Chains A and B, each alone.
Chain A
Amino acid sequence: MTKNCNNDHKMKFSLEEEFPDLSLHNNHMAKVLTKDIYSKLRPKSTPSGFTLDDCIQTGVDNPGHPFIMTVGCVAGDEESYEVFKELFDPIISDRHGGYKPTDKHVTDLNFENLKGGDDLDPNYVLSSRVRTGRSIKGITLPPHNSRGERRTVEKLSIEALNSLDGEFKGKYYPLKDMTDKEQELLIADHFLFDKPVSPLLLAAGMARDWPDGRGIWHNDNKTFLVWVNEEDHLRVISMQQGGNMKEVFKRFCTGLQKIEDVFKKHNHGFMWNEHLGFVLTCPSNLGTGLRGGVHVKLPKLSTHAKFEEILTRLRLQKRGTGGVDTASVGGVFDISNADRLGSSEVAQVQLVVDGVKLMVEMEKKLEKGESIDGMIPAQK
Chain B
Amino acid sequence: MAGSFARVLSSKRKVGILSLVGAGSLTVGFFMNREQHVSAGAHVRRIYPPSAEYPDLRKHNNCMASHLTPAIYAKLVHKSTPNGYTLDEAIQTGVDNPGHPFIKTVGMVAGDEESYEVFADIFNPIIKERHNGYDPCNMKHPTDLDSSKIRGGLFDEKYVLSSRVRTGRSIRGLSLPPACTRAERREVERVVIDALGGLRGDLTGKYFSLTQLTDQEQQQLIDDHFLFDKPVSPLLTCSGMARDWPDARGIWHNNEKTFLVWINEEDHTRVISMEKGGNMKRVFERFCRGLQEVERLIQEKGWEFMWNERLGYILTCPSNLGTGLRAGVHVSLPRLCKDPRFAKILDNLRLQKRGTGGVDTAAVGNTFDISNLDRLGQSEVQLVQTVIDGVAYLIECEKRLEKGQDIKIPAPISQFK
Interface residues of A (CB under 8 A from B): 1-10, 12-14, 17-21, 43-49, 53, 57, 60-61, 77-79, 82-83, 138, 140, 146-149, 151-152, 176, 202-203, 207-210, 212
CB neighbors of A among B21-73 (8 A): 28, 30-31, 33-39, 42-46, 48-49, 52-56, 59
B45 and A140 within 8 A (CB): yes
Which of B38, B59, B80, B186 interacts with A83 by CB under 8 Å?
B38
Given A46-B38, A61-B244, A79-B42, the answer on whether A17 and B55 have CB atoms closer than 8 Å is no
Q: Name the segment of B88-96, B100-108, B313-321 touching the other chain.
A: B88-96
Contacts of A21 in B (CB 8 A): 211, 244, 247
Cβ of B137 within 8 Å of any chain A Cβ, yes or no, is no
The reply to whether B37 and A44 form a contact with Cβ atoms under 8 Å apart is: yes
> In the bound complex, how far is the Cα of B84 from the Cα of A2, in angstroms?
9
Q: Are A5 and B80 in contact, CB atoms less than 8 angstroms apart?
A: yes
- Contact: B247 with A47, CB < 8 Å? no
Tell me if B242 is interfacial: C-beta within 8 Å of chain A: yes
A240 and B80 alpha carbons, distance in the complex (Å) = 50
For A151, what are the chain B residues with a Cβ–Cβ distance below 8 Å? 52
The answer, among B44, B59, B86, for a CB contact under 8 Å with A1, is B86
Interface pair B84/A20, CB less than 8 Å apart? no
The listed residue (B28, B46, B48) touching A138 by CB distance below 8 A is B46
Confirm or deny: B191 has a beta carbon within 8 angstroms of a beta carbon on chain A. Answer: no
Query: Could you say which of B28, B39, B44 contacts A82, with CB atoms under 8 Å apart?
Result: B39
Choose one: B77, B92, B237, B244; the contact of A202 (CB below 8 Å).
Answer: B237
- Of B84, B96, B175, B211, which one neighbours A210 at CB under 8 angstroms? B96
Give bound CA distance, A18 to B15, whole Å.
12
Q: Which of B84, B96, B186 contacts A3 (CB 8 A)?
A: B84
Residues from chain B with a CB closer than 8 A to the CB of A210 are: 96
Interface size class of B (residues with CB under 8 A): 35 or more
Partner of A148 from the list B39, B52, B243, B244 (CB cut-off 8 Å) is B52
A5 to B29, CA, bound (A): 11
**Chain A CB within 8 A of B149 CB:** no
> In the complex, how many angstroms separate the beta carbon of A48 from the nearest chain B beta carbon?
4
- Chain A residues near B55: list those with CB within 8 A: 147, 209, 212
Q: Tell me, rounded to whole Å, the shortest Cβ–Cβ distance linking A235 to chain B.
A: 21
Q: Are A208 and B182 in contact (CB under 8 A)?
A: no
Query: Bound complex: CA of A202 vs CA of B398, how far in Å?
Result: 48
A6 with B84, Cβ < 8 A, contacts A12-B15, A18-B182 known: yes
Please name 20 further chain A to chain B contacts, defined as beta carbons within 8 Å, in addition to the given A7-B84, A10-B181, sorted by A numbering. A1-B77, A2-B33, A2-B45, A8-B84, A9-B84, A21-B211, A43-B35, A44-B35, A45-B35, A47-B33, A47-B36, A47-B44, A48-B45, A82-B38, A138-B46, A146-B53, A147-B54, A152-B48, A208-B96, A209-B95
A37 smallest CB distance to B (angstroms): 15
Whether the pair A47, B45 counts as a contact (CB closer than 8 A) is yes
B16 contacts partner chain A, Cβ-Cβ < 8 Å:
yes
Any A CB within 8 A of the CB of B184 = yes
Q: Please, which residue of chain B has its CB at the minimum distance from the CB of A41?
A: B37
Alpha-carbon separation in the docked complex, A12 to B83 (Å): 11
Residues of A within 8 A of B83 (CB): 5-6, 9
Knowing A5-B80, A14-B183, the reply to whether A83 touches B37 (Cβ < 8 A) is: yes
Chain B 217-256 interface 0/1 with A at a Cβ cutoff of 8 Å (1 = within): 0000000000000000000011000111101000000000
A to B CB contacts below 8 Å, 13 in the list: A1-B78, A6-B179, A9-B82, A12-B16, A13-B184, A21-B247, A43-B35, A49-B33, A78-B42, A82-B37, A147-B53, A148-B49, A148-B53
Assess the A47–B38 pair: CB atoms within 8 A.
yes
Q: In the assembly, what is the distance between CA of A8 and CA of B85, in Å?
A: 12
**What residues on A are CB-neighbors of B46 within 8 Å?**
138, 149
The residue in chain B whose Cβ has the minimal distance to the Cβ of A176 is B56
Give A214 Cβ to nearest chain B Cβ, in Å: 11
